[in-house]
Structure 1
Amino acid sequence: MNLNNIIAGNLKRLRNERQLSLSKLSDICGVSKVMLGQIERGESNPTINTIWKIAGGLRVPYTSLIDEPIKNDILIKKEDSKHQESPDNKYRVYCYFASNSNRNFELFTVELDGNSTYESNSHGEKTQEYIIVYDGELSLNVDNITYILTPGDSIVFDSSKPHSYTNLTNSMIRMTIINYYVI
């Protein structure tokens, strides 16, 4: 898609979300009403400084104006998710939503076979992990503390620390994991 059209669509959407007229937005960001109208119609090739002024006035990141909008409705089938597994094939991760400039989290479905353990390293500074267990019994060890989660249980913890998932039963564990990147 043409960058001018992306900027035009994003500017119009952001302005309308805030219920701003072109005149009011002009007052807020210091860009003329005429120029804003031309940008919204895709008739102008705005300079970097102009985009920064508009972003500052709207109080949004610069990339909110230049990134292609993410579709609101996204369907991902399990077979289309990004699939990874541990070397022993007992821990399987299906990534449905990766983090990006508009999303500071990742969403996974995880399967852990019976009588197995998976060790996870730090996910980086300022990260949190959210888990919801659907099937099985999870023994989660974080910072030498063990938590037992059964179906319907959930937990959030500091995932900058190494942690491990253990299944002490014969049945497979199914759970959702969200890795959240604190900004």
Structure 2
Amino acid sequence: MDGSETGVGSRLRRLRESRGISLSALARSAGIGKATLSGLELGTRNPTLETLYAVAGALGVPLTALVLEPGAEPAAAADVRGAAVTATLLEVFEEPGATFELLRMRVRPGVVQQSPPHAPGVTEHVTVYQGVLRAGPADAPLLAGPGEHIAWQADVPHVYGTAGPDEVVATLLIRSPRQIG
């Protein structure tokens, strides 16, 4: 989201090494290939939204820990694209017990995006402005139309898609509890 894959890569490497996790172990935990993870760290691969969420979940950090330098303004973030979702970071809110990430998202019709589980305790809250969204836990997705809100525990596999031919425009608020320790 910062427009610089090398920035993501260096933050990723710092986070991984600070936790004493090997490249192989993180790749396994995130469910991605070791070559993909190495390419992200080296800045030779463009991260998808799905990959960034998988790595953030495996590290137990919010997405912004990977995509923004500490103290950087969300306006410095660029769009990140997944199979169906294009997300733009609007704001990050910090509270003593949690980090909140507010994103604008567009969901393209005709494609379903699989999102890996986030860290334990993470919740997602979506408000739809246009279109009809089908999102939530992969085994029981929820529907929301314009003006409606849905929420779910995001520490399980979840999906994003449309329930019709129109693009969905929505906001996504991700609440990530702070890790202790």
Q: Please, what TM-score do these two structures have when normalized by structure 2? A: 0.51
Shift of 1:99: 5.6
C-alpha separation between the residues in 1 aligned to 2:176 and 2:163?
30
Point out where structure 1 has 5 or more consecutive residues left out of the alignment: 1-69
C-alpha separation between the residues in 1 aligned to 2:143 and 2:109?
15
RCO higher in 1 or 2 (8 Å CA, sep ≥ 6)? 2
Q: What does residue 83 of structure 1 align with?
A: 79
C-alpha separation between the residues in 1 aligned to 2:166 and 2:160?
14
Q: What does residue 131 of structure 1 align with?
A: 126
Is 1:170–2:165 an aligned residue pair? yes
Shift of 1:135: 0.5
Point out where structure 2 has 5 or more consecutive residues left out of the alignment: 1-70
Other structure's SS at 1:96 match: strand
Residues 66-145 of structure 1 correspond to what in structure 2 (within 5 A)?
76=75, 81-86=77-82, 88=83, 90-98=84-92, 104-142=99-137, 144-145=139-140
- Residues 168 and 96 (structure 1 numbering): CA distance in 2 closer, same or farther, change over 3 Å? same
C-alpha separation between the residues in 1 aligned to 2:80 and 2:74?
20
Q: What does residue 20 of structure 2 align with?
A: none
Shift of 1:182: 2.8
C-alpha separation between the residues in 1 aligned to 2:107 and 2:168?
5
> Would you say the 8 A contact 2:105–2:171 is kept in 1?
yes
C-alpha separation between the residues in 2 aligned to 1:141 and 1:156?
7
Other structure's SS at 1:104 match: strand
Shift of 1:141: 3.9
- Residues 170 and 178 (structure 1 numbering): CA distance in 2 closer, same or farther, change over 3 Å? same
Q: What does residue 150 of structure 2 align with?
A: 155
Superposed CA offset, 1:10-35 (max 9, x none):
xxxxxxxxxxxxxxxxxxxxxxxxxx
C-alpha separation between the residues in 1 aligned to 2:139 and 2:74?
38
> Would you say the 8 A contact 1:82–1:96 is kept in 2?
no
Q: Which runs of structure 1 show a deviation greater than 6 angstroms over 4 or more consecutive aligned residues?
A: none
C-alpha separation between the residues in 2 aligned to 1:93 and 1:75?
12
- Residues 128 and 96 (structure 1 numbering): CA distance in 2 closer, same or farther, change over 3 Å? same
- Percent identity of paired positions between Structure 1 and Structure 2: 16
Q: Which is worse superposed, 128-137 or 115-124?
A: 115-124
